[in-house]
Amino acid sequence: MENQQALIQQCEAAARVWMTDSAYDAATQQAVKAMVENPDKTELIDSFYRSLEFGTGGLRGIMGPGTNRMNIYTVGAATQGLSNYLNLCFADRDEISVVVGHDSRNNSRLFAETAAAIFSANGIKVYLFDDMRPTPEMSFAIRHLGCQSGIILTASHNPKEYNGYKAYWDDGAQVLAPHDKGIIDEVNKVTVNDIKFEGNPALIQIIGKEIDDIYLEKVHSLSIDPECIKRQKDLKIVYTPLHGTGMMLIPQSLKRWGFESVHTVPEQMVKDGNFPTVVSPNPENGEALTMALNLAKSIDADIVMASDPDADRVGMACKNDKGEWILVDGNQTCMIFLYYIIMNRKAQGKMQGNEFIVKTIVTTELIKAIAEKNHIKMYDCYTGFKWIARQIRLDEGKLQYIGGGEESYGFLAEDFVRDKDAVSACSLLAEICAWAKDQGKTLYDVLMDIYMEYGLAVNKTINVVKPGKSGADEIKAMMDNFRTHRPTEIAGSPVVCTKDYGVLKQYDAAGNEAPLDFPEASNVLQWYTADGTKVSVRPSGTEPKIKFYIEVKAEMACPKCYTAATAEAATKIEAVVKSLGL
């Protein structure tokens, strides 16, 4: 009780600064006053118990007044801190420049224009997109325009209440150490009165179509088999941007690749930060594809694809062997992309022998099997595309990156962008479907071919949501408990290897330890069992939840056996869930 009272007092003290400092506008002050006077302190605590920090996805939170909310003051402090850091890091340059982009969310344009003004007030040249654009295009523009940094205002696939602020460095990738810590240090020094809201219009340049055209041409250069597209140009594609930025470029890209039968979902080709036609604008959720699937059924389409609001993730659905529409999950998506790229580059004699691919540690191990059999170097890295981008940067000029992805529906086929890219992924997906159709197959058949050659693995992610300050404490307690009481068996199979990325060590069944070669510690645990099961657990870096990633192996004697094999795997997954006490 004393701790709760102390927390309330701490939050009230922070709130009073917002109520009394004239730097905050009247509407904000009134809203904060109402929180302080409300006998229920839940909203006050959630709004003020901490300041938003850069996590795996930058700054992200619910919109509203408060230090733990997305508003012009938290965006302003982040931008002022980033400006200060850029002016320190690049003091020897005649001109420092940044790109500013945003998605379709409520307040995204306001936040983008606020940030642009602050950068310019600090003497930094700003390239501001004229309207919403995909995150990958912003990443591309940083490199193309020779900028030192860039930001995009987006909360990716989060619900409509959220917004976010992703910061990028001069390589076009999200900020990593030491710059992330350096920026946070500068942001933490900023008071509201330090924020230079009055911009210098002479330093703000509006960009748009000229960047779109260059970027789309680069994306088109990724096509591996344009001849098969010519033969299958009538492939029926249904696409939805879920009210987001994908509508700006993805239909154009598909047309440029040669596809002539692209059908968009009209109700969702509307820019709207309330995402009125979906519960959540997340292509990982089957519900978000409902309207696209209805359209696909009415025109007998070959493939359904959807991008999230900032068009970096792609979700998809295809018909199975019975003609029923099924969702393709993120692990399958990543695996199909890498399989196609490797097999078709080999078939066309495009392999030089220095290629590499990247996946995250929680993504399916079948990708490792594909890489090993085809003698392709594969790296494992942490969750978050900035780690894939880091590997591309480390090997730049030495090895050739040909693809990388993660289970959360993100894929990157190119190195001229340094974040996941739904524009190139949707285009490449259409080519894969055309290639399959050229052989009398479907995308589902390609998936079955992969399973028959490399074995079947079935994945499931369990999200345990724990909102607010109390939730953050519960998540910490769960991770501490798993570390203190390491499982010795999961669902009846002995644990043969435990990896603790928090201390960068792995342990065998006898307790012998060995180092893990990763660039820094991360709050992730993994267990591998004798029967091939892999379980990973980590707190989300962008949402109030703890995530469990479960992968189990299953026997599949023939493509027709897939349904029975996945049912058997589902039973095994339930046993794993029960074993973990979830």
Q: How far is CA 444 from the centre of its chain?
A: 25
**576 half-sphere exposure, CB direction, 13 A CA radius:** 30
> Would you state the CATH architecture of domain 75-207?
3-Layer(aba) Sandwich (3.40)
On the question of pLDDT at 413 being above 90, the answer is yes
What DSSP line would sit under 55-90, residue for residue? BTTBEEEEBSSSTTSBSHHHHHHHHHHHHHHHHHHT
Output the pLDDT for position 146.
Answer: 98
Cα torsion 341, 342, 347, 348: sign: positive
Q: Tens digit of pLDDT for each residue in 172-202?
A: 999 998 998 888 889 889 999 999 999 999 9
Mean pLDDT of 57-65: 86
In the three-class reduction of DSSP (H, G, I as helix; E, B as strand; rest coil), residue 187 is classed as helix
Q: Tens digit of pLDDT for each residue in 535-565?
A: 999 998 767 899 999 999 999 999 999 999 9
Output the pLDDT for position 468.
Answer: 80
Q: Quick one: what percent of the chain has pLDDT higher than 70?
A: 98
Mean pLDDT of 363-387: 96
Confidence of residue 3 (pLDDT cuts 50, 70, 90): confident
Confidence of residue 34 (pLDDT cuts 50, 70, 90): very high
In the 3-class helix/strand/coil scheme, how is 246-285 assigned residue by residue? HHHHHHHHHHHHCCCCEEECHHHCCCCCCCCCCCCCCCCC
Domains of the chain, by residue range, sit at 75-207, 215-454, 457-579
> Would you state the CATH architecture of domain 457-579?
2-Layer Sandwich (3.30)
- The mean pLDDT of the chain is 95
Residue 199 DSSP symbol: -
In the three-class reduction of DSSP (H, G, I as helix; E, B as strand; rest coil), residue 135 is classed as helix
Mean pLDDT of 9-28: 94
Q: How far is CA 420 from the centre of its chain?
A: 7
Output the pLDDT for position 542.
Answer: 66
Q: Report if pTM > 0.75.
A: yes
Torsion of CA 7, 8, 14, 18, to 10 degrees: 160
Output the pLDDT for position 55.
Answer: 56
| Other beta carbons less than 10 A from residue 334's beta carbon | 27
Cis? peptide before 178, omega within 30° of 0: yes
Mean pLDDT of 112-125: 98
Active site residues: 156
Distance in angstroms (rounded) separating the CA atoms of residues 172 and 369 = 30
Confidence of residue 106 (pLDDT cuts 50, 70, 90): very high
Q: Which region holds residue 55: left if phi is over 0, alpha if psi is between -120 and 50, else beta?
A: beta
* Phi and psi at residue 53, to the nearest 5°: -125, 160
Find, among 67, 78, 136, 89, the residue nearest to 111 by Cα: 78
Mean pLDDT of 506-516: 95
On the question of pLDDT at 12 being above 90, the answer is yes
Output the pLDDT for position 51.
Answer: 83
* Amino acid identity, position 119: F
Do domains 75-207 and 215-454 share one topology? The answer is yes
The answer to whether residues 107 and 156 touch, using CB atoms and an 8 Å cutoff, is no
Find, among 413, 386, 394, 421, the residue nearest to 307 by Cα: 421
Please tell us whether the domain made up of 215-454 is placed in CATH 3.40.120.10: yes
Q: Tens digit of pLDDT for each residue in 288-347?
A: 999 999 999 999 999 999 999 999 999 999 999 999 999 999 999 999 999 999 999 999
The answer to whether residues 417 and 140 touch, using CB atoms and an 8 Å cutoff, is yes
On the question of pLDDT at 1 being above 70, the answer is no
